Amino acid sequence: MTTTTPPVTLDAVRDAAARLQGVVHRTPVLRSRTLDDLVGAEVLLKCENFQRMGAFKFRGAYHAVSRLTPEQLSRGVAAYSSGNHAQAVALAARELGTSALIVMPEDAPASKRAATEGYGAEVVTYDRYTEDRVAVAEALAAERGLALVPPYEHPHVMAGQGTAALELLEETGELGALIVPVGGGGLIAGSATAAKGLHPGIQVIGVEPEAGDDTRRSLEAGRRVSVPVPRTIADGQAVQTPGELTFSVNRRLVDGIALVRDDEIRDAMRFAFERLKIVVEPSGATPLAALLAGRAGPLPRRVGVILSGGNVDADRFARLCGRAQES
Q: Which of 46, 48, 60, 82 is catalytic?
A: 82
Alpha helices (H) in 126-172, listed in sequence order: 133-144, 155-172
Q: Which of 42, 48, 167, 208 is catalytic?
A: 208
| Contact indicator for 55, 310 with CB cutoff of 8 Å | yes
3-state secondary structure of 274: helix
Q: Which of 167, 214, 262, 264 is catalytic?
A: 214
Instruction: Assess whether 208 carries a catalytic annotation.
Output: yes
Instruction: For residues 22 and 225, give the distance between their C-alpha atoms in angstroms, rounded to a whole number.
Output: 39
Residue 231, CB-side half-sphere exposure with 13 Å CA sphere: 3
Question: How many CB atoms sit inside 10 A of residue 139's CB?
Answer: 13
Q: Which of 48, 197, 308, 310 is catalytic?
A: 308
Instruction: Assess whether 57 carries a catalytic annotation.
Output: yes
Q: How far is CA 264 from CA 30, 48, 208, 298, 303, in A?
A: 21, 20, 12, 18, 19
Strands 100-105, 77-80: pairing kind: parallel
Give CA 257 to chain center in angstroms.
15
Q: Which of 46, 48, 57, 304 is catalytic?
A: 57
Instruction: For residues 68 and 20, give the distance between their C-alpha atoms in angstroms, rounded to a whole number.
Output: 15
Instruction: For residues 259 and 243, give the distance between their C-alpha atoms in angstroms, rounded to a whole number.
Output: 19
Determine which helix (DSSP H) or strand (DSSP E) holds 97, and give its type and residue range: none
Instruction: Assess whether 212 carries a catalytic annotation.
Output: yes
Dihedral sign, CA of 211, 312, 138, 92? negative
Instruction: Assess whether 308 carries a catalytic annotation.
Output: yes
Instruction: Assess whether 214 carries a catalytic annotation.
Output: yes
For 237, phi and psi rounded to 5 degrees?
Answer: -115, 15
Determine which helix (DSSP H) or strand (DSSP E) holds 198, and give its type and residue range: helix 186-198
Q: Which of 54, 76, 83, 212 is catalytic?
A: 212
Tell me which residues are annotated as active site. Answer: 57, 82, 208, 212, 214, 308
